[in-house]
Structure 1
């Protein structure tokens, strides 16, 4: 049976210190529940003394039946010259009602004398007193040795003394922290190996990513003997972030042979990554290893040809192992293999002549500024139209937009749309907070009565990119629109020297794809019955 590595998630505390990340109590409870289902061993909920919101989280968390995870409350050692039993920070941890306390203390002599302004001996007493107090209260105590690796370089004997003080006081885990995030894997491994010679207590590792080595340092520490890994989902955290558990866990399980999560749970990693990003209101990094949208995306024709024959030629793992999926991109760098893969996905057939015509058409459109690799819905519509496998659901006769701006008043945008649905002519108008929003509202107004599916979709993202900046205001622009209907999302593209025309083109594709998607789903249901 694989050796167990314990997973300690600090997304809710250390991760929320990242710039632009703010989690409400409700957000934290949702994320904690999802982490518990994933199967992590510890969830650090926050610092109950420093943040009233975190204390509320712990009080509400008492009402939840946690399946797997232990909740940990975070805090510091007692103040210099104080008493542990009178320290407000330690008493707050007791009131939080958790079974695990994580206490950080100084392991770098510079911090003891310069930041805490106390003696090295008093710092050791602070560590020992604080841990002993919480152990006596019946808590499992994890000691985070802050700045351990920097302290070990500066004064190894003292850094080791802080760990020994924690272990002697009853700490269940001693965690070595690269708080500044500047260490190298070789230095981390050497320090961990030395600590193992000195201590019997189980070791953990906590790294930051300031040198872009947090994951590498974590893996090096495990190889050297650490059996608890601390980190955050998506690497959220202060400055450059923490060790990214979405990379640490699959590397440990799939490549190093350890067990981190319950069997089968790693396949939910991508889902958890995107769920946490959604709750934190952060756009997921497409190029994030393992779980990113582009992690298994293939664009070059030679790559696609090879990966379709043997996936491991350009994929270091099967994407399904972490709940991700392969994506074949179409672009001016694509080859026949890319096209055939896309055509097969759509259930279409292309003769060699049509295949060449489609490839030439795609490359010509990309030369004009279209980008299909980020607009799969527009690509599918283009392929279906080119192959004759598409019936236009409606025809647009014209669209007109008006923007009125009066001094001292906000601008008013209005769109007028005239279109045909079968034999019916629909002529309508709508206002919006801008011309694109007005066109969206007018088009919906015209179509919803005939096509109710339009009412279930909404635009969730709108991006404009100037393609030829040297042409200034006459430059060509590319508009990308993301739409969602509750079950999935899709992307469409439009290109023009007129931003309104480019937006209209992408908007039309988004509506047409929604109807195509509904038709396909209805056909599947009919076939199933």
Structure 2
């Protein structure tokens, strides 16, 4: 059975804290939602701001593959005829085939928020829906605060739905606007409404009790066939029902049809795309689409997953476009190491090399190293244990000097570095924006004549964490560094009670990893050329 998916990322989602989208952003996201298979895309409230009005003007000129674009607004204002109401007029001017309007279901809101009688509120709903239907629109009626209203006065809440239904509403959406209803009540109330109406029912939930997804699932179980939510659950206060969780739950767990199977495999990419456009930090532990959703750390878990992934994975990660990750830590066993080695194309000898790798990692993690976020350092460690030379250069000495003026501003940072590379000794001085940047610049300057491609590598992120703050200034620190070369990025780690030494470890590993990958690429190209010449 098909579920109609209604996405409100571009409207309700933008009401979330820290979420701001330009018109171009909204168009880009709408195109991706359309390609993914969303049925209805709520683009905004054209009567509320120029940005949303422009979105609908531009959306009219786009040929949408699958989705209907929907404008959002409210029932008419008290004291105005529908044809004179600027909000209803803006909905029609948006030119969308579908419109969504909300009305009051709770006596509290009718009397206090709108300041109208209960009878007049029913007339506002009925006349607004009828007016839009008369102009050829498909009308989705959002019964705002329905569950609060139903629990306070069930008879009146049902009357508001009946007013919308008799006026021609195509879908009646029951909204948990405050997000305070629990799943058992959602199931009970939706079931009671279902028994009284033939009009398709929808569900719109917020996450204020952490139950938005569960409430949506329970509403569908009770008979709702229209589901509203946002990508990644963004939205006002604690957010909306997360469609990245709702969709796979409905399709993979409950047997409903939401999107084509091949589109479901794009879910993780869609989640990351929306976060990127909205400039939001992804949540690693997000179900289905998070980086940690199929990550395994405990050795017992990894051992079982290597035999049969079903042991610790509720679905194959590929179904939602995610992938399995095995983490390396002091909880690791040989299974973790062997899995990661195979993933990296490293053939560890059974027995001694695997045991040596496990022992070394446990020792380093005891000192404060963390390889879960520094897989480049982990690969260098494995290749060294395997017997591969990954040094490329060695340190003779380094010195970093920073001058600070009397106002506390940094005037200059300078690094002097002496290293040995290819039987030569290089002594260089470089400046930078702070001591770590100066050290990074000095290292690349010293290696440039030997490895010219290093010009495209740059330090892109630097993080420091104090590991044992009770030790004060003698505390060890862990430095995590990110390098990029325009195509990829990689992370390395260093630990020491001296922040410069920890920084050097991470910086040097970052450059060594790049040089290792460059050497591997050259060897592979040479082998391919030799093979082509033989044939």
Aligned twin of 2:533? none
Aligned twin of 1:78? 76
1:409: how far off? 6.8
Aligned twin of 1:433? 433
Aligned twin of 2:101? 103
Instruction: Choose which of 268, 279, 282 in structure 1 pairs with 2:277.
Output: 279
C-alpha distance in 1 between matches for 2:449 and 2:140: 61
Q: Is the 8 A contact 1:112 1:118 kept in 2?
A: yes
1:527: how far off? 5.2
- Is 1:478 equivalent to 2:478 in the alignment? yes
Q: Is the 8 A contact 1:285 1:292 kept in 2?
A: yes
Counterparts of residues 27-426 of structure 1 (less than 5 Å): 27-346=25-344, 347-408=346-407, 410-411=409-410, 412-426=412-426
Q: 1:451-494 deviations in whole A, cap 9, x for unaligned?
A: 35434444443322111011122211112223344443322211
CA change 1:451–1:43 in 2 (3 A) is farther
C-alpha distance in 2 between matches for 1:399 and 1:56: 57
Aligned twin of 2:8? 10
- The 10-residue stretch of structure 1 (81-90 or 224-233) with the greater mean CA deviation from structure 2: 81-90
**1:374 match: secondary structure:** coil
C-alpha distance in 2 between matches for 1:257 and 1:195: 23
C-alpha distance in 1 between matches for 2:91 and 2:448: 55
The alignment yields a C-alpha RMSD, in angstroms, of 1.9
Unaligned runs of 5+ in 2: 530-535
Q: 1:281-312 deviations in whole A, cap 9, x for unaligned?
A: 22111111111101111111111111110111
CA change 1:81–1:305 in 2 (3 A) is same
C-alpha distance in 2 between matches for 1:105 and 1:446: 69
- The 10-residue stretch of structure 1 (447-456 or 427-436) with the greater mean CA deviation from structure 2: 447-456
- Is 1:511 equivalent to 2:511 in the alignment? yes
1:25: how far off? 1.7
**2:195 match: secondary structure:** helix
TM-score (normalizing by structure 1): 0.95
Q: 1:58-91 deviations in whole A, cap 9, x for unaligned?
A: 2222332221111111111111222222222222
C-alpha distance in 1 between matches for 2:323 and 2:202: 32
C-alpha distance in 1 between matches for 2:328 and 2:72: 48
Aligned twin of 1:21? 19
C-alpha distance in 1 between matches for 2:269 and 2:448: 32
C-alpha distance in 2 between matches for 1:488 and 1:228: 41
**2:301 match: secondary structure:** helix
Q: Is the 8 A contact 2:390 2:512 kept in 1?
A: no
1:425: how far off? 4.3
1:133: how far off? 2.1
C-alpha distance in 1 between matches for 2:21 and 2:407: 38
Q: 1:192-223 deviations in whole A, cap 9, x for unaligned?
A: 11111121111111111111111111011111
1:528: how far off? 5.5
Q: Is the 8 A contact 2:139 2:171 kept in 1?
A: yes
1:417: how far off? 3.0
**2:95 match: secondary structure:** coil
Q: Is the 8 A contact 2:380 2:390 kept in 1?
A: no
TM-score (normalizing by structure 2): 0.94
- Is 1:495 equivalent to 2:468 in the alignment? no
Unaligned runs of 5+ in 1: none
CA change 1:221–1:391 in 2 (3 A) is same
Q: Is the 8 A contact 1:127 1:165 kept in 2?
A: yes
C-alpha distance in 2 between matches for 1:458 and 1:321: 35
Q: Is the 8 A contact 2:376 2:491 kept in 1?
A: yes
Q: 1:40-64 deviations in whole A, cap 9, x for unaligned?
A: 1111111122122122222222332
**1:198 match: secondary structure:** coil
- The 10-residue stretch of structure 1 (286-295 or 443-452) with the greater mean CA deviation from structure 2: 443-452
C-alpha distance in 2 between matches for 1:328 and 1:452: 34
1:524: how far off? 4.7
CA change 1:47–1:361 in 2 (3 A) is same
